[in-house]
Structures are given as C-alpha cells and as structure tokens.
Amino acid sequence: MTTATRINETRRWSMLGLGVFAQAASAVFVNGVAFLLPALTDRGLPLATAGLLVAMPTVGLVCTLIAWGYVVDRIGERKVLIGGPLLMLAAGGAAAATTNDIALGALLFLGGVGAASTNGASGRLIVGWFPPHRRGLAMGIRQTAQPLGVGVGALAVPAVAATYGVPAAILVPAGMAGLAAVGSLIGIIDPPRPAGGGGADASLRANPYRGDATLWRIHAVSVLLVIPQGTVWTFALLWLHRDVGWSLAAAGILVTVTQILGAAGRIGAGAWSDRVGSRLGPLRIVAVAAVLSMAALALAAWTHMWWAAIPLLIVASVITVSDNGLAFTAVAEIAGPYWSGRGLGIQNTGQNLAMAVVAPAFGALISASGFAAAYLLAAGLAVAAVPLVPTDRRTQ
C-alpha cells in the first residue's frame, strides 16, 4: 500500500496539477457554457430560453455537491476524479449530438452533476498528501482552477462556437474532462487514512458538526465573504463602462488583469497561512481587509473619485477572493479524513447559492440606488463575517 512517506515531492505536486486540471475542466463546463449565449440566440432561441439552458450546468453542480462529498468520503478521491469527469465527457458528447433543446438542457444539467465531483475530491487530495506547512500554498494553487477555467472558457468557447458551431464548442469542456479522467486514472493515488479500529479512528469518524459550531461558522463566514467577491466580479465591467466611462475593451482588459491578480492573491494567502501555522487567523484579517476595501470602493464610487476608484477596485478584487483557499483548507483539516468531502460539499453549496443571489439582488439595488450602495452593502455583509470567524486553530 502506498503511504504518505513513500510519496515524493514530485508525485505530490503532479497530483495537485491533475486536481487543478480536473477542477479547471469543471469550471469550463459550468462557467464556459454561459459564453454560448450569443451563438444560441443567433440560431433563433429566445434569450430567456438560452439563459435557462446555459444555467443548467450550475444547477446540476449545486444540487449534487454534498452528495459527491459523501461519495468521496465513502469510496475515495481517485474513483471520483475518474468517474465525475467521465460523466462530463459523456454528457458533453451527447449534448453536442442532440438537436432537441429539452434534451440539451438535461444533458447540460448532467454535465454539471459530473463537474461537481472535482470540488471535494481535489481538495481532499491536498489535505491527504501535503504536510500542514504546505497545505495552504497547495490549496491556494488549487483555488486558481476556477479563474483559469473561466479564462479558458471565455477564450475558447465563443470562438469555437462562432467558427464551428455550438456542438463543437460544447466538446471543448467535454474533451478537457476526458483528459482529466485519463490523467486521474494514471496519476492519482488515494491519500492514506487511519487504519480501522481503535478510539482514535472512532474519533475521526465522528460527525464533526455534532456539538461543535466551528465548521458551521466557517461556512457562514465564507457565504458572507463570497458576496463582496461576487459583487466585484459581476459588476466591475459594467461599472467601469457606465460610471467611470471606460470602453468595454479597456474595462475587459482591467477585469482580466484583476482575475490574474486574484489568482495570485489566493496563492499568497495560502503561503501566508503556512508560514504562520494558522488558517483562521489570516481568514479573520482578510475579512477585515474586505470590509475596508469595499467600504473605500463605495466611498470612491459615491464621490466619483475615479483616480482612487481604479486602484481600489484592483485591491478589492484581490482581497475578496483571498479567503477562499484559507476557508477550504480549514474545513478539510477540521472535518478530517472521513468527513472532508461532505464538509467541502457544504462549503461549495453555500457559496454557490450566495453567488447565484448576487446578480439579481445587487442588480436591483444598483438600478435603484447606484453602485456605491451595492459596494457599501457588500462591505456591511463582510462586517458581519468578522466576529463569526472561529477561535484560531493551529494546523495539524
């Protein structure tokens, strides 16, 4: 049996790379399909119908994140990282072949179900194979998979759809998922778990949510902090174009730059948590920084101080994503080897549901009161997150 001591550094980092690729493939499937909207409407679909179709992968993902976490806890990471991407490949291939819109929606939903598999599994790989003083950095790198996937989707999906049609564009994430399944089959090894029996094993198997609010508090903090992140991500382009007066091209470039810097911020926050030996201490500091950056951004938007608004937007874009890896690592470590899959599933479900609310709710607020009000409300929600961060725990 392969044990942690027999896994060298190269193998650890190669498995991290495979996990990142699998997660990125999922992000392309879930987020990249949204870039099919122009092609779908061009072929005659009403915008409402097209919007419903491209939302189906997200629906499939949110509905099954916790279930996949349970499967990870029961059968291990390797099988899930093979089976989930294979489901994405099969669903994407069938979606590319169908001409029926109802079937297309059902298959995109099924692809989203497969995409949900990579969340808990790739996170558990990190906690299982990396020592505590490397987990924060590794999880920060893993958290870059989403912006990388969104970037690949933005570049590839609409271009392929315009040149070769919608079916070929759907095959882009499906093909990535197939490669992820093959890579996981060849390169992934399940992390070791404690041998059965004994009081220590029984303690690890115990429900970490029972009688302890620590994980629930981390989930609540993450839900509150993802709203400033979603507000910046969703409305930055529109704000730069409508209020600041930038062209869409220039605004798009800045938003892309902030995504890259945000990915670097996740890695930096993870490395910082490794250095200080804590996840929750840095998480509390990031929450406070999110309050200050969003409040400052609201002030700049309200007073039209555009010379300050642009740097503040960049700062807020980096800070509001830096908590993700810290919280994910803390959840996986505290939940333990028999519950981390479910813990990460709950974590992802809460954040995705909160993100789904951001666009309609904050869009209505912006229409009624402007961008400054939206940024201020996001800062207020971050204020509520600060006292919810649990008492510091050292990594273990």
> Given this model, what pLDDT does residue 199 score?
53
Give the separation between CA 297 and CA 312, rounded to whole angstroms.
6
206 is a domain residue: no
Six-digit token pair at 58?
A: 């997200």
- The 10s digit of each residue's pLDDT in 293-309 is 999 999 999 998 888 88
* 179 and 246 housed in the same domain: no
Six-digit token pair at 108?
A: 């995109």
Confidence class for position 374, pLDDT limits 50, 70, 90: very high
| Total domains present in the chain | 2
Taking all residues of the chain, what is their mean pLDDT, rounded to a whole number? 87
> Given this model, what pLDDT does residue 1 score?
40
CB atoms < 10 A from the CB of 185, how many?
Answer: 15
Six-digit token pair at 185?
A: 């089959």
* Domain span holding position 298: 212-388
* 186 and 269 housed in the same domain: no
User: What percent of the residues of the chain are helix, what percent strand, and what percent coil, each to the nearest 5?
Assistant: 85, 0, 15
3 pLDDT exceeds 70? no
3 state SS of 63: helix
* 34 and 166 housed in the same domain: yes
213 pLDDT exceeds 70? yes
Please tell me which residue, 2 or 109, carries the higher pLDDT value: 109
* 246 and 167 housed in the same domain: no
> Given this model, what pLDDT does residue 153 score?
83
- The 10s digit of each residue's pLDDT in 253-274 is 888 788 888 889 999 999 999 9
* 147 and 218 housed in the same domain: no
245 pLDDT exceeds 90? no
* 249 and 138 housed in the same domain: no
* 45 and 112 housed in the same domain: yes
Identify which of 7, 177, 215, 192 has the alpha carbon closest to the alpha carbon of residue 95: 177
Q: What pTM was estimated for this model as a whole? A: 0.80
* 234 and 311 housed in the same domain: yes
Looking from the CA of 218 toward its CB, the CA atoms found within 13 Å total 31
Give the separation between CA 196 and CA 206, rounded to whole angstroms.
13
